[in-house]
Amino acid sequence: MSKTNPGNFFEDFFVGQLIRHATPRTVTTGDVALYTALYGTRFAVQSSDALAWGLGYDQAPVDDLLVFHIVFGKTVPEISLNAVANLGYAGGRFLAPVYPGDTLSAVSEVIGKKENSNGKTGVVYVRSTGYKADGTEVLDYVRWVMVNKRDPQSPAPEALVPELPAVIDPMALGNAVPMLETEYWDNDLAGSPYRFADYAKGEKIDHVDGMTVEDAEHMMATRLYQNTAKVHFNQYTEGKGRFGTRLIYGGHVISLARSLSFNGLGSAFHIAGINGGRHVAPLFAGDTVFAWSEVLDTAEIEGRPDIGALRLRLVATKNRPCADFPLKDDVGNYAENVILDFDYWAILPK
């Protein structure tokens, strides 16, 4: 019997199952530097210990998406090694600031399961939680993946599709942000004259700039997250596959788009919640990513006079500038070259 991990198939999951994932990971300033080198992120709170400390943090917190990718990466060997597709995200909450030196681990709970009508695959819903060595929860989110059945003849289990929130209640946001001394917020250093009150529902922002992705970059990123999904790394196999080339980790696209969004959303310094997300089309090396945002909603957070929340749709495209805010066509299909439709809550200072 082989000692290698074959990954789990649809039949291996059961609702209520708890999975403790491997390889706890101490996050360091080395990871932060690599994250900066990979995406060019410029949000001031995550970039400067001095500025973060002045506002009320212990030091510069680790970028929210770096935390997300690390926690996500841990779940791959058990959840999505045999996944056909990563279908969606919901109910993501960032619960505590993560600092260099913190060690992150992940557990997942299977919360739903439904066989597809073709009998060959099924959808598995899991809630994954990232926590520090002292037990502090830093992130939880739900994702659902399409997984191959080991045996197409195996009987379909009773379908259980969890009810998922369409949007995180604003009351639940902001736990990862200490009460800010906003009198020390400095628009010049933050790179934006606009704060919470300057954004209005319905506003659209073209982030203008484009970023081309190389194979070396997305592979280094994905390995940094200890994400082992095979399709990102193996040209020998992928070259013979559907696309003829390695597929870029969807989270890499989210981070690129988020980084591009600094141009127009410079004070939206924190991702507090992930309402939903869909990887609409694949990205490959050589493609250039563009992004635009729409303010879907604005919200006050009770007990937080220092900050407010914007619900943002972040759309990424490949090889298509976003001056015309591409999203869907007349019949509701995603427009050509749209690759990401991501719905999240950002925190801004008042």
**CA angle at 17 for the pair 16 and 23, rounded to the nearest 5°:** 140
Give me the 93-112 binding string for its own copies, x by CB under 8 A, dash otherwise: -------xx-x-x-------
The DSSP H or E segment spanning 31 is: helix 29-39
DSSP string, 161-184: -----SS--GGG--TTSPPP-GGG
CA dihedral 273, 335, 80, 19 (to 10 degrees): 20
Q: Is 228 in the site for its own copies (CB under 8 A)?
A: yes
Question: Among all chains, which residue has been given the structure tokens 């080339």?
Answer: 245
* Residue selected from 44, 173, 257, 280 as contacting its own copies according to rule CB under 8 A: 44
Q: Is 340 in the site for its own copies (CB under 8 A)?
A: no
Stretch near its own copies under the rule CB under 8 A, chosen from 157-165, 176-184, 221-229, 341-349:
221-229
Stretch near its own copies under the rule CB under 8 A, chosen from 119-127, 220-228, 305-313, 328-336:
220-228
Stretch near its own copies under the rule CB under 8 A, chosen from 18-26, 172-180, 305-313, 324-332:
18-26
**What minimum distance in Å lies between the beta carbon of 95 and its own copies?**
19
Distance CA 232, CA 65 (A): 19
The two tokens of residue 195 are 């704060």
| Of residues 306, 345, 52, 350, the one with CA closest to residue 173 | 345
Q: Considering only residues 256-285, where is the footprint of its own copies by CB under 8 A?
A: 263-266
**What minimum distance in Å lies between the beta carbon of 86 and its own copies?**
19
Task: Say if residues 138 and 27 touch (Cβ distance below 8 Å).
Answer: no
Name the DSSP letter for residue 254: H
Distance CA 157, CA 51 (A): 53
* Residue selected from 67, 221, 253, 346 as contacting its own copies according to rule CB under 8 A: 221
Task: Say if residues 61 and 176 touch (Cβ distance below 8 Å).
Answer: yes
Backbone angles phi, psi at 292, to 5 degrees: -140, 160
Task: Say if residues 329 and 175 touch (Cβ distance below 8 Å).
Answer: no
Q: Considering only residues 289-308, where is the footprint of its own copies by CB under 8 A?
A: 290
DSSP string, 271-283: EEEEEEEEE-S--
Give me the 169-208 binding string for its own copies, x by CB under 8 A, dash otherwise: -------------------xxxxx-x---x------xxxx
- CA distance between the termini of the chain: 60
Q: Considering only residues 127-156, where is the footprint of its own copies by CB under 8 A?
A: 133
Q: Is 12 in the site for its own copies (CB under 8 A)?
A: no
**What minimum distance in Å lies between the beta carbon of 331 and its own copies?**
27
Stretch near its own copies under the rule CB under 8 A, chosen from 38-46, 120-128, 299-307, 308-316:
38-46
Nearer to its own copies, 274 or 310 (CB): 310
Number of residues engaging its own copies in binding (CB under 8 A)? 83
* Residue selected from 8, 9, 10, 31 as contacting its own copies according to rule CB under 8 A: 31
**What minimum distance in Å lies between the beta carbon of 305 and its own copies?**
24
